[in-house]
Structure 1
């Protein structure tokens, strides 16, 4: 890719970017949120057609202006937002063979269902993945959906496979499995472009790395010739600061108490408590029940037994509305699906959770007051956006996450629940999010921080509960534990 530039209203997303790679190599593409990584790959995969510059494969110029053109050139992409790329009401086999089915449409031929399932099963078997091809995609876990997308990509003639944050929804075991698949594809001379914020993974799996910053190319190097710290400094354009803030909060009385909570599926007899000014970690691997617990405390999961007590008062949470009214806020893991209104402006999103504050008589919204509030929070949270009127879908992942958090700061809750808040977020934006959370604790808020990133639990929390198979198997003081101990209990150690 040579001299690639692209603009969106008010944003120059890429500025004369060069990118070169070979088949049979795993090439990392890294940069802070908004650096242009995903945009560059969307150009390569044909999602954006209004770019300038050249793309060539084996010296042959390619006019890639549509996904079909990219696929014909052997380029496949697996996006980070897996749900938007799959059709939930179709089976695993139908989703894997989707491209082939669509390409053969118009030829007036019947679909041979047995053959379709056999082909899909063979692809999954080749990847050493055990998922029934007859299962509906809506029944799959996030990790399984990711594998189905990779299976679909390699069901076609694939020379270059782009993986956008592929390990974000995966557990440690599933990541190991993904890396095995990547190495197998490498042996078959497929070139893998690996977009990730997880530096240890990049240094484990990749041969080369390209670093971007503010829509421009910064450097391309062999992994063997650089270090993680050097990469971060090039990403941020400055020396690496301490990531986690000092926690000097006054811990007060118990705000939230959960006793013997169970839901219909995942959570089993779970008890915990959080005090004001305290950040309590919920550590656990993917599938341990962290998300289900967060949703249950926010009134969106049906409970069978147990009680939730806030400020000494027993809560009846029939819906998220009940939770919001009682001062409970949730920043969910799936931000694009559940945490933000992607087609609305930054301004609309920031006031969505507390419209009463901006409503005049007869229920009309005070636009002037709403705009002033949005501008204030954009500045306070460091949201990088051309204006408060920009649609949230045009922001980078880290800035979308800041909007998802910002709306609850406007609403002023008592309990803040964060579910994987740094998923798909770069080093710079992570630091901003940690500072925000520390600031909330300083203001006496009770905070639950659920993540599978154990280094974050150690860095940001006061106390931690380890979840395994839907149960809180161990409670630990953060200052007297280690990542190894957390992992031990999170994997079922006793």
Structure 2
């Protein structure tokens, strides 16, 4: 890609960008929110047309005006939202061979036996054991991701864009994906790898390009740079400068649980969160973090134990009960549970406080707009206008909306479940600032995460959750990432 330029409504999103991808390499493309990496890849995959510049393969200039043009040239994209790339009611085989089915033009003469055999051969070549007759709707997120990778082989892709492919995966599933990426490399396929997780970027990448403000600011081999340099290039300053911990006065207990339990994932949790305090609960995937957050919020009902808010016993049996008790949740699956993606930013921010914006059952449009304008400015939400659909925002800005809708309520306890999942470094900075400001206002913060570095940088206390139980507590500055991993993995020294 040479001299690529693109503007939206007169605002330059890309400025004279050059990007190169070789066959059989993994080239990481990094950048904060609004850096231009998504726009660049949309031009490469045919979703957008560039205003300036050229795209070429082996020195031959291409005309990429649609995704179909890109696919003809062997350029394919696997998006973060895997469900949107698969047809849920079709089988695994049909999804893998989808382009073949589409090319048949609706012909009734399809050899289903041959189609299933070919799909099975592709899966076998990748070392994947997935029944080709299963409906895609029955698969886990990780299995769906693997089906998409298998489709790339069936389509004989030459270049692949992997957009946040590990965001929905556990550590073990991510390792399996990296093994498949090695297979793609060995087959001579070039991979553009977009991720916000720097350790995995350095684990799999041959080269790293960093974009900032629509331009390329770094292009180095992975061996010639490090995480600190990459963060500095992304932000224009160091990690420490971008993530200062805001000082807050810690008061008396706000949230207390004793013996809280439900099912096999939450087994007798005791914890306390004080006003102005950020308490991180860290654990590996499957430790029970999400299940604990749902019990506190009332999305699931506790079988045993007690919850108290401000010294008063509560027993939330629904999210409405949780909100009434002063507990709000920013869930891990923000697009499914945290926001209404088809609704505007304006309406999402208003939802929890409609009563205060209404009179005689009618919402005041002027009040709602004033509230949204104030929240957008305060939270740093990058939206062209308040009435834009939330689906059109970046992941980081969608998360700010998911958080922001609760900030005007009377909630005293904020529960965050993996709030930085699939969020870039720049948006993380804003989310950490918002959380710090809530603590300064005297709110109690419970921060559930598998990102140990975030817990160490943000929390006043860290609780380690393993198999549904709190197994260790650390004060600020008392633990290292190795300590947290040791206890989170049940003290299994080999894993640690």
TM-score normalised by structure 1 residue count: 0.90
Contact 1:11-1:386 within 8 A present in 2 as well: no
Alignment-derived partner of residue 342 in structure 1 = 341
For residues 293-339 of structure 1, the C-alpha deviation after alignment (integer angstroms, 9 at most, x for no partner) is 22232222354444433233333333222222222211122222322
Q: Secondary structure at the match of 1:409?
A: coil
- Range moving further from structure 2, 88-97 or 224-233: 88-97
Alignment-derived partner of residue 149 in structure 1 = 148
Alignment-derived partner of residue 409 in structure 1 = 407
- Range moving further from structure 2, 309-318 or 20-29: 309-318
2:467 to 446, 460, 469: 469
Q: Does 1:202 align with 2:192?
A: no
Alignment-derived partner of residue 79 in structure 2 = 79
What is the rounded CA distance, in whole Å, between the counterparts of 2:133 and 2:327 in structure 1?
A: 39
Q: Secondary structure at the match of 2:377?
A: helix
Alignment-derived partner of residue 398 in structure 1 = 396
Alignment-derived partner of residue 488 in structure 1 = 486
* Cα RMSD (Å): 2.6
Alignment-derived partner of residue 235 in structure 2 = 236
Aligned length: 492
- Range moving further from structure 2, 190-199 or 116-125: 116-125
What is the rounded CA distance, in whole Å, between the counterparts of 1:93 and 1:472 in structure 2?
A: 43
Contact 1:10-1:386 within 8 A present in 2 as well: no
Alignment-derived partner of residue 97 in structure 2 = 97
State the 1:239 CA deviation.
5.1
State the 1:433 CA deviation.
1.3
Alignment-derived partner of residue 212 in structure 1 = 211
Alignment-derived partner of residue 4 in structure 1 = 4
Q: Which runs of 5+ in 2 are unaligned?
A: none
Alignment-derived partner of residue 177 in structure 1 = 176
1:126-141 to structure 2, matched below 5 A, reads 126-141=125-140
Contact 1:346-1:392 within 8 A present in 2 as well: yes
What is the rounded CA distance, in whole Å, between the counterparts of 1:101 and 1:476 in structure 2?
A: 56
Alignment-derived partner of residue 45 in structure 1 = 45
Contact 1:43-1:51 within 8 A present in 2 as well: no
Q: Secondary structure at the match of 2:4?
A: strand
For residues 226-248 of structure 1, the C-alpha deviation after alignment (integer angstroms, 9 at most, x for no partner) is 33333222222345543443353
State the 1:193 CA deviation.
0.3
- Range moving further from structure 2, 402-411 or 28-37: 402-411
Q: Does 1:441 align with 2:448?
A: no
For residues 253-300 of structure 1, the C-alpha deviation after alignment (integer angstroms, 9 at most, x for no partner) is 322233334445643343433222221212122232222222232222
Contact 2:196-2:422 within 8 A present in 1 as well: yes
What is the rounded CA distance, in whole Å, between the counterparts of 1:131 and 1:492 in structure 2?
A: 31
Contact 1:34-1:395 within 8 A present in 2 as well: no
Q: Which runs of 5+ in 1 are unaligned?
A: none
Contact 1:402-1:433 within 8 A present in 2 as well: yes
State the 1:460 CA deviation.
0.9
What is the rounded CA distance, in whole Å, between the counterparts of 2:111 and 2:270 in structure 1?
A: 52
What is the rounded CA distance, in whole Å, between the counterparts of 1:422 and 1:189 in structure 2?
A: 33
Contact 1:26-1:193 within 8 A present in 2 as well: yes
For residues 25-57 of structure 1, the C-alpha deviation after alignment (integer angstroms, 9 at most, x for no partner) is 110111111112122212222233575543222
70 and 438 in structure 1: CA distance in 2 versus 1, 3 angstrom threshold: same
Alignment-derived partner of residue 14 in structure 1 = 14
Alignment-derived partner of residue 309 in structure 1 = 308
For residues 91-125 of structure 1, the C-alpha deviation after alignment (integer angstroms, 9 at most, x for no partner) is 4444333333333342222452x555544444344
What is the rounded CA distance, in whole Å, between the counterparts of 2:340 and 2:10 in structure 1?
A: 20
Q: Secondary structure at the match of 1:447?
A: strand
